[in-house]
Amino acid sequence: MTLVFVSVFALNLFSAEVEFGGTFYEQNAYIKNPTLGSGFCINEVLINGNKANVEVNTGVVVVDFAANGLKFCDKFNMLVRYSGDSKPELINPKAFVASSTFDLVSAKIEPAGNAFNLVLSIKSEAAPLPFYVELYKSDKWVVCGVFQGKGGSAEKTYSIPFSGLVGENKIRVYQVDSDGMKEREKEVAVMSPKTSAVVVKKIVSGKEILFSGVTEYKVVDASGNTKLHGMSDVVDISSLTKGMYFLVYEDVYKKFKTK
């Protein structure tokens, strides 16, 4: 949610208000408090209509949202009442919009039946944003998984299906911030317990493709359009029309025809 700054309006000759809005992501608000004669201009702060417990006789007013009853990801409206001509300013507005700050603690690949999972430990998530996982294969980065982050400073464990490659897998994890930019990419090398590469056992034209194990696959037509995509050891190709296609799996590109 983009921080809202509402125009100041006068309450009376000696008092005015300024309003801020946002989302609580475990960060305090810091408000610049201009001087007024021998004191300071801020008279009181209200959070969602309730008077906040804050110290106003200081140059920077600290608003502890948690101490004032807010929980992680709660929306808030903060009303600052003040006197004088100099209006208070929120020093850290970006603390209350979705940010892509996080720390990747560890990454590993674990067996899951006849398939594999990528297990990630992540902490210090500033906001509950989606995570994107990319795998480096065939000389480029490709997205191999997306999962929803929970947000919060505590360490959390996430697990997603992951076919990967035999041996070392270079992966990176990132989020997209509120401005639509990729941020906080974390590249790491992870060893896979997979002992042999998946291969195509059989292609039955017009029916199915059989792999030797579970893998992520794409079926692309001659124009480059993805027709089928998933993760399995069997691909149903009965919906494909007659023509030439490319099967993409692991780091292999294989051409096949349907009749």
- Residue ranges of the chain whose pLDDT lies below 50: 1-14
Phi-psi label, residue 216: left if phi above 0, alpha if psi -120 to 50, beta otherwise: beta
Could you say which DSSP state residue 240 is in? P
- In the chain, where the domains are located: 4-96, 103-191, 200-258
Domain 103-191 has CATH 2.60.40.10: yes
d(CA 36, CA 248): 69
Phi-psi label, residue 33: left if phi above 0, alpha if psi -120 to 50, beta otherwise: beta
pLDDT of 6 reads 44
Nearest Cα to Cα of residue 131 among 86, 100, 154: 100
| Strand, helix or coil for residue 235 | strand
Q: What is the pLDDT of residues 76-132, one digit of tens each?
A: 999 999 999 899 999 999 889 888 889 999 999 999 988 999 999 999 998 899 999
d(CA 232, CA 236): 10
Nearest Cα to Cα of residue 122 among 143, 150, 99: 150
The Cα diameter of the chain in Å comes to 89
pLDDT of 13 reads 43
Select from 3.30.70, 2.60.90, 1.20.120, 2.60.40 the CATH code of 4-96.
Answer: 2.60.40
Strand ranges across the sheet with 89-90:
60-63, 29-32, 89-90
Apex 169 CA angle, 166 and 171, nearest 5 = 155
pLDDT of 184 reads 78
Question: Where do runs of H (alpha helix) occur along 86-129?
Answer: none
Dihedral sign, Cα of residue 135, residue 98, residue 159, residue 192:
positive
Question: How many residues make up the chain in this entry?
Answer: 259
pLDDT of 114 reads 85
The two structure tokens encoding residue 185: 């990419």
pTM over 0.95: no
CATH superfamily of 200-258: Immunoglobulins (2.60.40.10)
pLDDT of 5 reads 45
pLDDT of 214 reads 92
pLDDT of 2 reads 44
Strand partners, 42: 82
pLDDT of 10 reads 46
